[in-house]
Amino acid sequence: MSPINISWNLIRSLLINRWIATPYPTASFDGKTIIVTGSNTGIGIEAARHFTRLGAHRVILAVRNLVKGEAARRNIETSTLRLNVVEVWHLDMASFVSVMEFVERVNGLERLDVCILNAACMAMKWNATEDGWEESLQVNLLSTVLLALHMLAKQTASARAHPGYTPRLTMTVSEGYEMTKFTQRGEPNVLQFLNRKEYMEDPANMWEYYLIEKLFLMYCGREIAKLVPAEGTGPPVMVNMVHPGFCHSELVRDSGIGYSVFAFLLAKSSEKGGSTLVDAVVKGVESHGEYLSFCEIAQYAWQIESEGGEKAQKKMWGEVVGVLEAKYPGMMQSITEQIAGNEKSAGNEKSTDNEKSGILWV
Ligand SMILES: NC(=O)c1ccc[n+]([C@@H]2O[C@H](COP(=O)([O-])OP(=O)(O)OC[C@H]3O[C@@H](n4cnc5c(N)ncnc54)[C@H](OP(=O)(O)O)[C@@H]3O)[C@@H](O)[C@H]2O)c1
């Protein structure tokens, strides 16, 4: 059984979660183009609602189910009385092809000011994707990183074309990462080790699975921030991560009565969770590469901030990039050159599924 690490910090967080004030977002997003993934429900729809209310020019709901997405759009329009702002775009993060089709569409946008990578799922049973990965491993980690890298490239181009606003890339993570001891770190290939039905469906490992994905996403988020270092007046794109707090949402979909009571007592509203996402986006340069909890920069726990944590971060970043490079050879070079402003390199990337997806690298 994977050992659990319950820290005082986590207990404290759960106890204050519902009672600590969450600032109601008031910043203007006038003229901004904003993407929120996983925004047909939960925390994502509430963040999108705030952005719409706060004057955004375009709010793109990136969702895997267009019917649910349209319902979310109508819901936001009814509550904000703003029409022709919210758009629904298809994005299924359980498919690399779908992610790259979405990237191609995003590259056609005139600007991209804010992107919140919020979509995630909690696996209760084994489900393999068309790319051969356990679904949550692909959605919560691999596709989120693939998307983050491409959004970062688009946003650096957007920053060059529209000086005066530093675009924001925010990833939704979870403070629950502190509960994992990451005992699998000694495995030669951790992702392949985790990507096994017998491992994932073992009740001893199942619940830690989601938390370890969030830990790995935090490792990758820190590495992604390094691609746009804060020099001079700041980074060209601000990258940070946010823990929304324990919120009512649809994340735990097969919950029993025990979880329902736990949530009834301790969870806060998804609206407050959405407010924390908006707060992360308005944070200043000091939040670049950092992680926010309760709307403040939080200290990383030992799983990240320690010699072992740093080694683990390098290893897992290497593994994730390795998976993506195997799928899209030349991707990292292309991304770093796009970030540097060398547009010519954008066509150098090859995809092993270009023919299937019909993707044009632009
Ligand atoms: N709620 C909490 O207490 C809590 C705490 C810490 C962190 N978080 C994080 O907050 C974020 C939002 O979660 P939530 O609590 O709002 O849960 P939620 O209500 O279940 O929302 C998750 C969203 O992700 C979408 N999604 C799932 N699989 C997808 C896929 N393959 N492609 C595209 N979208 C997909 C869902 O779409 P469908 O509706 O179509 O499934 C849904 O819109 C997640 O990153 C979660 O890990 C939540």
Residues of the chain with pLDDT > 90, as a percent, come to 78
Token duo for residue 295: 């709307």
The predicted model gives 3-24 an average pLDDT of 83
Note if the pTM is more than 0.85.
yes
Tell me the CA–centroid distance for residue 323 and ligand 1, in Å: 23
How does residue 355 score in pLDDT terms, banded at 50, 70 and 90? very low
356: pLDDT strictly greater than 80: no
Active site residue 210: yes
How does residue 4 score in pLDDT terms, banded at 50, 70 and 90? low
Judge contact between 230 and 285, C-beta under 8 A.
yes
Enumerate residues 6+ apart whose C-beta is below 8 A from 272: 22, 245, 247
Enumerate residues 6+ apart whose C-beta is below 8 A from 362: 104, 107, 346, 347
The closest residue, in CA terms, to atom 4 on ligand 1 is: 246
The closest residue, in CA terms, to atom 23 on ligand 1 is: 38
Distances (CA, A) of 5 to 10, 265, 303: 10, 22, 10
pLDDT in the model for residue 8: 79
Q: What is the mean pLDDT of the chain?
A: 91
The closest residue, in CA terms, to atom 44 on ligand 1 is: 120
Active site residue 214: yes
User: What are the pLDDT digits (tens) for 151-169?
Assistant: 999 999 999 999 999 999 9
The two beta strands, 33-37 and 58-63, are parallel
pLDDT in the model for residue 347: 39
Ranges of beta strands (E only) in the chain are 33-37, 58-63, 86-90, 114-117, 168-172, 238-243, 291-293, 296-297
Q: How far apart are CA 75 and CA 64, in angstroms?
A: 17
359: pLDDT strictly greater than 60: no
User: What are the pLDDT digits (tens) for 254-281?
Assistant: 777 888 888 888 899 999 999 999 999 9
**Residue with the larger pLDDT of the pair 264 and 222:** 222
95: pLDDT strictly greater than 80: yes
The predicted model gives 99-113 an average pLDDT of 98
Q: How far apart are CA 282 and CA 29, in angstroms?
A: 10
Tell me the CA–centroid distance for residue 119 and ligand 1, in Å: 5
CB count, 10 Å around CB of 305? 11
Exactly one of 32, 154, 209, 214 is catalytic; name it: 214
